[in-house]
Amino acid sequence: MSTLDYNVQTPPDSITVPFLVSTGYYIKVKGFIVGGQTLNIPPEAISSTLHTFGKVIVDSGAVYSYLFPQAYEILREAFRKEAKNRLKRIYGSFSKFETCYDMEDWQVAIVPSMWIMFSDDKKLELNVLNYLHVYKPGVYCLAFLPSLKTDTNPYPQSIFGNTLLQTTRVTYDLVNMLLSFTPDSC
């Protein structure tokens, strides 16, 4: 469960970043850290030129998070590499998910960590359930998907959806155009 707060006092342990309002709330994302390794993702791979490089929409109405294919592939491969000797990968038909694990007897300590890096070098550590989706009991899948251009999605975007925001307090300061993330405060 997350909360959505508007124009309230930001908790002191929050990560606060500026946002831009266009067709949604956009934040500038520099990249990701997976298992302690900073990923080499070019800014143009994070978002389209429609909203300048590196912008990601924060959309609590989207369930999962979407990245442009190049950024998604870099993140997915880094996670697979870090998880290779820690988690049992399983293959099969898991709807749209490509990276799934048998985690019947999982422990958080063995799951690779993940952080979001913002443009001002601030970092937000994610809870495991922010980036691993419980597909069914014992099966967890990477909760990022590629944002692809289709007939029904002619303008793909990089999106941070509500799975990524669960257990995180999100505070919108509309006066100062700031968005704050407070981990594990819900």
Kindly list the domain boundaries of the chain, sorted by start residue.
3-70+113-130+144-183
Integer Cα distance of 129 and 143 in angstroms: 9
pLDDT at 165: 87
53-64 average pLDDT score = 82
Report the C-alpha gap between 102 and 94 in whole angstroms.
12
Q: What is the mean pLDDT of the chain?
A: 85
pLDDT tens per residue across span 25-55: 889 899 999 999 999 998 888 876 554 556 8
Residues 6+ apart with CB under 8 A from 94: 100, 135, 139, 141
Task: Please report the pLDDT score of residue 50 as a whole number.
Answer: 54
Q: With pLDDT > 90 as the criterion, what percentage of the chain qualifies?
A: 40
pLDDT tens digits, one per residue of 95-142: 889 999 998 876 666 899 999 999 888 999 999 989 999 999 989 999
Single pTM value for the model:
0.87
pLDDT at residue 94 greater than cutoff 90? no
* C-alpha dihedral (126, 95, 87, 56), degrees to nearest 10: -20
The Cα 83–Cα 61 span in angstroms is: 29
| pLDDT of res. 17 | 93
Residue written as tokens 């508007």?
6
- What is residue 54's predicted lDDT score, i.e. its pLDDT? 64
How confident is the model at residue 108, as a pLDDT?
63
pLDDT digits (tens, 9 = 90+) for 131-168: 999 999 989 999 999 987 777 777 778 889 999 988 88
- Residue 102 has a CB neighbour count (10 Å cut-off) of 13
If you compute the radius of gyration of the chain from its CA atoms, what whole number of angstroms results?
16
- Is 3-70+113-130+144-183 in CATH node 2.40.70.10? yes
